[in-house]
Amino acid sequence: MKQSWLDYFRHNAWPAMPWDDPYRLTREERSAVASSIPQFQLGEGSEGNAFVQRARRFAGDAQFIPTLRLFIQEEQRHSASLGRFLDLHGIPRLKKHWLDQAFRRIRRLAALELIVTVLVTAEIIAVPYYRALRNATQSPLLGALCGQLLRDEAAHLQYQAGTLARLRLGRSAIRRALTELFHAVLLHGTVLVVWMEHRSLFLRGGYTLTMFRRESEHELSTVHLATYTYNAPVRLNAQPAWTCNSKEDSL
């Protein structure tokens, strides 16, 4: 049976997490994650106001904004869960960070497509990051959290690829190619900045810069491919065709 993204987000309940896990991070593990997780915890907590405001373009699609709000709530659940992990381990949270502020500023000023492009860039980066984080410690709780975060982020990439596909409907091949080139440049710049900020976490998680870059490029090409294979509706206001068959299919 077909499932809309609205239904997907409504029903995407998390499995129980082992919050009472007695494992304590070693000194090395703690020093690798303590300066890294707080940045992602902060970034996941965006309220998405600019996104919702610009999404009025899809006003004829009654499901678009309710779906977007549930998506934002899911990101906030990521932030809350990472925050709870930090609190359990006595690792201070960040109130602000220049990279998070830069992303938020772009989102505040940008048009809808750039907001989605920036967001997709962050979600692409999150995939190798959470894989590295899962490998970086022996913590069963952090492992379980990363597993669920990775499942959610994979679905988010499909969901946002559908949004990009709708925004690019009818665009010429040259304009699409230029758009994709811009996104690739943005991604490469972001990979370098994130690598500089989180190098020790990535290394501890078994990632070199080349591996991080290749995985990010692979995720981006999957997103771009999804925007072409997307079964587009005839009009923006038509019933969304960006549906998935089941929760498992969307992961």
Number of continuous H segments (helices) and E segments (strands) in the chain: 10, 0
By the rule CB under 5 A, 131 interacts with Fe ion: no
Stretch that binds Fe ion, among 33-41, 101-109, 116-124, 192-200 (CB under 5 A): 116-124
> How many residues interact with Fe ion (rule CB under 5 A)?
6
Stretch that binds Fe ion, among 16-24, 39-47, 134-142, 205-213 (CB under 5 A): 39-47
Rounded distance between C-alpha atoms, residue 167 and residue 57, angstroms: 10
Sketch the per residue contact string, 209 through 248, with Fe ion: x for CB under 5 A, - otherwise: ----------------------------------------
By the rule CB under 5 A, 183 interacts with Fe ion: no
- Of 228, 109, 238, 251, the C-alpha closest to 179 is 228
Stretch that binds Fe ion, among 37-45, 179-187, 210-218, 237-245 (CB under 5 A): 37-45
By the rule CB under 5 A, 100 interacts with Fe ion: no
Stretch that binds Fe ion, among 36-44, 90-98, 110-118, 189-197 (CB under 5 A): 36-44
By the rule CB under 5 A, 104 interacts with Fe ion: no
Name the minimum Å distance from CB 247 to Fe ion. Answer: 16
- The enclosing H or E element of 82 equals helix 64-88
Q: Identify whether the C-beta of residue 140 lies closer than 8 Å to the C-beta of residue 206.
A: no
By the rule CB under 5 A, 75 interacts with Fe ion: yes
Q: Which residue's CB is nearer to Fe ion, number 61 or number 123? A: 123
Residue nearest Fe ion by beta-carbon distance: 156
By the rule CB under 5 A, 29 interacts with Fe ion: no
Name the minimum Å distance from CB 231 to Fe ion. Answer: 23
By the rule CB under 5 A, 151 interacts with Fe ion: no
Rounded distance between C-alpha atoms, residue 92 and residue 228, angstroms: 43
> Which of 38, 39, 43, 44: binder of Fe ion (CB under 5 A)?
44
Q: Measure Cα distances from 174 to 44, 107, 140, 177, 179 in Å.
A: 34, 25, 48, 5, 9
Q: Measure Cα distances from 42 to 25, 64, 178 in Å.
A: 21, 25, 31
Task: Tell me which residue has tokens 């494992």.
Answer: 23
* Footprint of Fe ion (CB under 5 A): 44, 75, 78, 123, 153, 156
